[in-house]
């Protein structure tokens, strides 16, 4: 049977519940909060206070990371090292094209090319580790917000077909290479796990039109951003760096956490209707229905119609419907 950690507030109301997991790095998992529980807690914080602890993070090509007002990029040493590796890689690739297939020299050259690719990837990984650590170590920030970028779709080839050839193929190829070179997904993944270990949280918001929306008035139009760098709102006249404006929009979208929380909760609950869950029963009753309260290992709050003797035990409950944002369950025999 899985053991659970339950945290209560001063009114003996349950705040969140999480499974106990042994940690290898000395951090006690029982003191950590999962993403959904964090969402529930943040939905109760006033918008003004929430904005103080939230940071929007915009990822780009010219500015790899715009986090709040701060820009993160490779250090001069990393840039120099990476540039040297890339030049050496081109020489090796040119040498490879001249060598006979199946020869030992060609085999050695291919191994060298593989090592150089690994070295360049390590520079990228080092940058993502350092940047994510700097972000998570900010004491006043508890919530980090990224755009939900579909990197695979963004970097698809523009060649097209013989019947419908692509346009600006060379430029799109260069853009694809630049996007993949920044390690966008790696930065997000590193920040997410480090934030979790630090008792913080990472959320993602839809990426649509964040580069075209004004962070001041909300006006959205493609002409608001006529160049890569400059943002000028056609409605209110707000002028800013385009990446800096985008991180403000990302932060602003997440700050409306109450609406986001309700939508996510309802979608989360609906997944479990008709599903049997193992539920940990609380020693309390719901004031509106008089039914026992419970939480599943998936953090689904459940109202249980059953025998009082089931208090403080784990039992199988069939989820039947939603009542005021909580699942209604009935005990089922196996």
Concatenate the DSSP letters of all residues of 257-295 into one string.
HHHHHHHHHHHHHHTTTT-EEEEEEEEEE-TTT-PEEEE
Answer positive or negative: Cα dihedral of 236, 240, 242, 245: negative
pLDDT for res 21: 43
Residue spans of the domains in the chain: they are 33-266, 271-331
Q: What are phi and psi of 15, to 5 degrees?
A: -100, -50
Q: Does pTM top 0.75 for this prediction?
A: no
- Between 305 and 271, the higher pLDDT residue: 305
Instruction: Provide the pLDDT confidence category of residue 7 given band limits of 50, 70 and 90.
Output: very low
Q: Over pLDDT 90: what percentage of the chain?
A: 25
Find how far residue 50's CA is from the centre of its chain: 18
In the residue annotation, 163 being an active-site residue is answered as no
Instruction: Identify the three-state secondary structure at position 201.
Output: strand
Please tell me the predicted confidence (pLDDT) of residue 6. 45
Task: Give me 185's structure tokens.
Answer: 């997904």
Residue 103 DSSP SS3? coil
In whole angstroms, give the CA distance from residue 258 to residue 7: 22
Q: Which of 58, 188, 213, 282 is catalytic?
A: 58
Catalytic residue among 40, 188, 243, 282: 243
Residue 141 pLDDT exceeds 80: yes
The whole-number average pLDDT for the span 108-127 is: 93
Give residue-wise pLDDT tens across range 30-43: 556 667 777 777 77
Does the structure show a pLDDT above 90 at 13? no
Q: What pLDDT, on a 0 to 100 scale, did the predictor assign at position 123?
A: 93
DSSP string, 159-185: -B-SSSB-SSHHHHHHHHHHHHHHTHH
Which residues, other chains included, contact 252 with Cβ-Cβ below 8 Å and sequence gap of 6+? Answer: 56, 215
The residue ranking higher by pLDDT, 265 or 8, is: 265
Look over the chain and give the mean of its residue pLDDT values, rounded to a whole number.
79
Check pLDDT > 60 for residue 265. no
324 is catalytic: no
Does the pLDDT value for residue 77 go beyond 90? yes
Please list the alpha-helical segments (H only) found in 10-159.
35-42, 47-52, 76-98, 104-136, 151-154
Q: What is the pLDDT of residue 324?
A: 64
Asked if residue 9 has pLDDT above 70, the reply is: no
Identify which of 295, 330, 333, 327 has the alpha carbon closest to the alpha carbon of residue 314. 295
Find how far residue 79's CA is from the centre of its chain: 27
Secondary structure element (H or E) that encloses residue 187, with its range: helix 184-197
* Comparison of pLDDT for 130 and 2, the residue scoring more: 130
| Residue 258: pLDDT over 90 | no
Q: With H, G, I as helix, E, B as strand and everything else as coil, classify residue 66.
A: strand
pLDDT at 183 over 80: yes
- Asked which of 22-31, 95-104, 184-193, 318-327 is least confident by mean pLDDT, the reply is 22-31
Q: Is 150 exposed, middle or buried (0-12, 13-18, 19+ CB in 10 A)?
A: exposed
Residue 45 Rama label (left phi>0; alpha psi -120 to 50; beta): beta
Q: Are 23 and 7 in contact (CB under 8 A)?
A: no
Euclidean distance between CA atoms 268 and 37, whole angstroms: 12
User: Would you state the CATH architecture of domain 271-331?
Assistant: Beta Barrel (2.40)
For residues 272 and 317, give the distance between their C-alpha atoms in angstroms, rounded to a whole number.
11
pLDDT for 201-254, tens place per residue?
Answer: 888 888 888 888 898 888 888 888 888 889 999 888 889 998 999 988 888 887
* pLDDT at 154 (0 to 100): 75
Residue 22 has pLDDT above 50, yes or no: no
Out of 147, 188, 213, 282, pick the active-site residue: 147
Measured distance CA(5)–CA(97) in Å, rounded: 61
pLDDT at position 51, please?
83
Percent of the chain beyond pLDDT 70? 77
The pLDDT value recorded for residue 26 is: 54
pLDDT of residue 333: 55
48 vs 54: CA distance, rounded Å: 10
What's the pLDDT tens digit per position in 25-75?
555 555 566 677 777 777 777 777 788 888 999 998 889 999 988 999 999
d(CA 211, CA 243): 7
With beta carbons less than 8 A apart as the criterion, state whether 187 and 59 touch: yes
Residue 147 annotated as catalytic: yes
């Amino acid at each position: 049977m899985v053991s659970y950690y339950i945290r209560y507030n001063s009114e003996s109301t349950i705040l969140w519940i999480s499974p106990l997991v042994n940690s290898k790095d000395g951090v006690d998992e029982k003191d950590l909060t999962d993403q959904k529980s964090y969402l529930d807690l943040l939905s109760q914080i006033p918008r003004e206070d929430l904005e103080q602890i939230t940071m929007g993070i915009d990822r780009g090509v010219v500015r790899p990371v715009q986090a709040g007002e701060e820009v993160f990029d490779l250090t001069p040493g990393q840039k120099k090292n990476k540039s040297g590796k890339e030049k050496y890689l081109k020489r090796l690739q040119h040498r490879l094209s001249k060598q006979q297939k199946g020869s030992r020299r060609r085999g050695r050259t291919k191994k060298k090319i593989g090592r150089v690719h690994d070295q360049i990837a390590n520079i990228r990984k080092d940058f993502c580790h350092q940047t994510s650590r700097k972000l998570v170590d900010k004491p006043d920030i508890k919530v980090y917000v990224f755009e939900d970028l579909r990197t695979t779709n963004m970097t698809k080839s523009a060649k097209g077909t013989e019947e419908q050839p692509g346009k600006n193929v060379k430029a799109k190829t260069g853009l694809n290479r630049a996007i993949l070179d920044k390690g966008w997904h790696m930065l997000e993944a590193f920040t997410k796990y480090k934030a979790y270990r630090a008792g913080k949280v990472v959320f993602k918001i839809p990426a649509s039109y964040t580069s075209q929306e004004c962070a001041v008035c909300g006006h959205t139009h493609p002409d608001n951003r006529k160049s890569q760098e400059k943002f000028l709102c056609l409605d209110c006249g707000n002028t800013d760096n385009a990446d800096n404006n985008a991180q403000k929009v990302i932060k602003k979208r997440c700050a409306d956490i109450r609406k986001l929380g309700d939508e996510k909760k309802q979608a989360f609950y609906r997944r479990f209707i008709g599903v049997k869950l193992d539920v940990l029963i609380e020693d309390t009753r719901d004031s509106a229905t008089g039914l026992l309260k419970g939480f599943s290992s998936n953090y689904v709050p459940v109202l249980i119609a059953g025998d009082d003797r089931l208090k403080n035990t784990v039992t199988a409950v069939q989820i039947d419907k939603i009542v005021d944002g909580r699942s209604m369950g009935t005990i089922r025999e196996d």
